[in-house]
Amino acid sequence: MRVFCASLATETNSFSPLRTDFADFAQSFYAPPGDHPETPTLCSAVFPALRRRAATEGFTLIEGTATWAEPGGTVNNATWDRLREEVLDQLRAALPVDAVVLGLHGAMIAEDCADCEGVLIEAARQIAGPDAKIGVSFDPHSHLSAKRVENADIITVFKEFPHTDFVEAGEACVDLTLRAARGEIAPVISTFDCRMMDVLPTSRLPMRGFVDRMKALEAEGTVLSMSLIHGFMAGDSADLGAKTIVITDGNAEFGDRLAREKGLELFTYRGATKPPFLPPAEAIKAVDAAASTAGPVVLADVWDNPGGGVAGDSTILLQEAMDQGLKGAALGTIWDPMAVRLCFAAGEGATFDLRFGGKTSAHAGAPIDAKVTVTKLVRDAVQSFGTSVVPLGDAAAVRIGDLDIVLNSNRSQAFSPDLFTNLGIDITRKRVLIVKSTNHFHGAFAPVAAEILYAAVEGPYPNNPAKTQYTRLTRAIWPIVENPFATDATTQEVTA
């Protein structure tokens, strides 16, 4: 048996002031065939999983390119064309193949292509032929198009938000695709459009229970796989919004019924899934009041999140902390390659006047002008995300009075406390940790946090679908439409 694998992934914020080109992929993660590390990345966990299976089961594995760009703005056509054809040429060279496994994100949008993953999967199907089995793995913050469903045999999606199970989702994709290629199962994909767009963290109820019930259905063998696409509200996609995915062993009728049942259940949770989001001034007062000796209070700046495709250089929350005289705090990170370079030029221990932050958007606050002390400099700094290593680029820790700030040159949201500790900041001595992330920080920070609070700082991220000017969306979805099911027979079932 011959199996080809590749990974091409990014998350596109159509409304971001940033733009994405090949340099963003090269800077974040680019591994040509055979060079993928033994450790997985968020969207390429299929690589190490396939290597292990090939070593024990004896099939031939042909590796293509694996690459990832930090979420950002629209991908330019030249980059999309280059990377797409690079992977497809590798697949052509690998023929004949019995299976194709693709590690994707699911929310990539290029200048002239609104469904990059759909186009890639469709092309892979045309090249590999109708008998080859195609498995794909997605991030839940993606867009599920009909083109993807029609051309794939297996679709697995991370169930958790934060995405602590990205390795498990990759392994499930590999396992089901190999079983299908060997004729052990006859997978049928059923989907249901939940017609809603919301923030759906699985670290709290009601989504915690929803995910646990999906896992139980898989564990008891009721389905081969069950997944939920959350949707990505910053992507201008015709397929925006949540959708359920059920894969059965040849039982389309049952799969369709279950996908619909779980989708309607999800719809009843609309507007009740995310934690309270505090405005900046209230958020700083709240963390100051909540600080205790039990551990630092963690405050998440949820909308200035590089993981959502914005720059991550907003200064609004930092300025509020400085104005209120917040003591014993650390903030990570602010993306500012120029400021990092100046810190390296000054050297560790230097005290000098530095301007940083607030460079990429008129809605992300003014630059901070302050006398800073450089406390730590790290070349090619990293943080961890589970078993994955996330590059921060050259990074500097600076101090303003009692406030420590991490400046980085590779955009990245906060995943782990080692974001601070790798830059010499002792979090056990901090009353407050301020991080830029919507929820991915939760898994690693929760064990050390006395309390976790969330701040909603308005900026370049389009955080209210009812107000966002989508150009491709034609379906009725909540909250743009109060009851998008009103025109069909499901109305009475979904208004609870």
pLDDT tens string 422-439: 999 999 999 999 999 999
CA dihedral 456, 390, 331, 73 (to 10 degrees): -40
Give the burial string for 437-469 (b: 16+ CB within 10 Å, else e).
bbbbbbbbbeeebeebbbbbbebbbbbebeebe
Instruction: Report d(CA 43, CA 102) in Å as an integer.
Output: 9
Q: What pairing do the DSSP bridges indicate for beta strands 187-193 and 329-335?
A: unpaired
Kindly state whether residues 413 and 444 are assigned to the same domain.
Answer: yes
Residue 316 domain flag:
yes
What range defines the domain where residue 423 resides? 277-455
Residue 272 domain flag:
no
Range of lowest pLDDT (88-92, 346-350, 384-388):
384-388
Kindly state whether residues 79 and 224 are assigned to the same domain.
Answer: yes
Q: 108: which 2 tokens?
A: 């990539």
pLDDT, position 492: 39
Residue 475 domain flag:
no
| Furthest C-alpha separation in the chain | 69
pLDDT tens string 185-234: 999 999 999 999 999 999 999 999 999 999 999 999 999 999 999 999 99
Instruction: Report d(CA 139, CA 157) in Å as an integer.
Output: 6
Residue 416 domain flag:
yes
Judge whether 188 and 226 are in contact, CB under 8 Å.
Answer: no
pLDDT, position 493: 45
Q: What predicted TM-score, i.e. pTM, was given to this entire model?
A: 0.96
pLDDT, position 293: 83
Judge whether 120 and 84 are in contact, CB under 8 Å.
Answer: yes
For tokens 């950002």, what's the residue? 72
pLDDT, position 294: 86
Kindly state whether residues 289 and 414 are assigned to the same domain.
Answer: yes
Average pLDDT, the chain: 96
Kindly state whether residues 243 and 348 are assigned to the same domain.
Answer: no
Instruction: Report d(CA 59, CA 96) in Å as an integer.
Output: 13
% of the chain beyond a pLDDT of 90:
96
Kindly state the average pLDDT of the residues 286-313: 95
Kindly state whether residues 255 and 367 are assigned to the same domain.
Answer: no
Task: Assess whether pLDDT exceeds 80 at residue 75.
Answer: yes
Q: 492: which 2 tokens?
A: 């009475």
Question: Side by side, which strands form the sheet with 225-229?
Answer: 187-193, 243-249, 225-229
pLDDT range class, residue 18, cuts 50, 70, 90:
very high
Question: Side by side, which strands form the sheet with 432-435?
Answer: 277-278, 451-455, 297-301, 432-435, 329-335, 403-408, 388-400, 368-385, 351-356
Judge whether 155 and 126 are in contact, CB under 8 Å.
Answer: no
Kindly state whether residues 293 and 361 are assigned to the same domain.
Answer: yes
Of 249, 267, 285, which residue is a domain's last?
Answer: 267
User: Which string of DSSP letters, residue by residue, matches 259-281?
Assistant: HHHHHHHHHTTTTSSSPPEE-HH
Kindly state whether residues 197 and 286 are assigned to the same domain.
Answer: no
Kindly state whether residues 83 and 214 are assigned to the same domain.
Answer: yes
Q: Which residues, in sequence order, are CB contacts of 69 under 8 Å at separation 6+? A: 9, 10, 20, 24, 25, 27, 28, 29, 75
Cα-only R_g, the chain: 23
Q: Which residues, in sequence order, are CB contacts of 103 under 8 Å at separation 6+? A: 5, 6, 7, 9, 43, 44, 45, 46, 47, 66, 136, 137, 170, 173
Kindly state whether residues 176 and 291 are assigned to the same domain.
Answer: no
Give the burial string for 246-276 (b: 16+ CB within 10 Å, else e).
bbbbebeebbbebbbebbbbbbebbeebbee
Task: Assess whether pLDDT exceeds 80 at residue 496.
Answer: no
Q: 364: which 2 tokens?
A: 């992300």
Number of domains present in the structure of the chain? 2
Packing angle between helix 46-57 and helix 166-181, nearest 10 degrees? 40
pLDDT, position 488: 59
Tell me, what DSSP letter sits at residue 149?
H
Residue 91 domain flag:
yes
Judge whether 61 and 46 are in contact, CB under 8 Å.
Answer: no
Q: Which residues, in sequence order, are CB contacts of 426 under 8 Å at separation 6+? A: none
Instruction: Report d(CA 168, CA 137) in Å as an integer.
Output: 10
Kindly state whether residues 263 and 337 are assigned to the same domain.
Answer: no
Nearest Cα to Cα of residue 278 among 266, 289, 267: 289
pLDDT, position 44: 98
Instruction: Report d(CA 147, CA 144) in Å as an integer.
Output: 8
Instruction: Report d(CA 375, CA 420) in Å as an integer.
Output: 12
Beta bridge partners of 243: 193, 229
Kindly state whether residues 245 and 331 are assigned to the same domain.
Answer: no
Residue 489 domain flag:
no
- The one-letter amino acid code at 417 reads P
Kindly state the average pLDDT of the residues 445-454: 96
Task: Assess whether pLDDT exceeds 60 at residue 491.
Answer: no
Beta bridge partners of 403: 329, 400
Kindly state whether residues 261 and 285 are assigned to the same domain.
Answer: no
Residue 49 domain flag:
yes
Q: 346: which 2 tokens?
A: 């000054």
CATH code: domain of residue 52: 3.40.50.2300
Residue 445 domain flag:
yes
pLDDT range class, residue 495, cuts 50, 70, 90:
very low
Task: Assess whether pLDDT exceeds 90 at residue 140.
Answer: yes
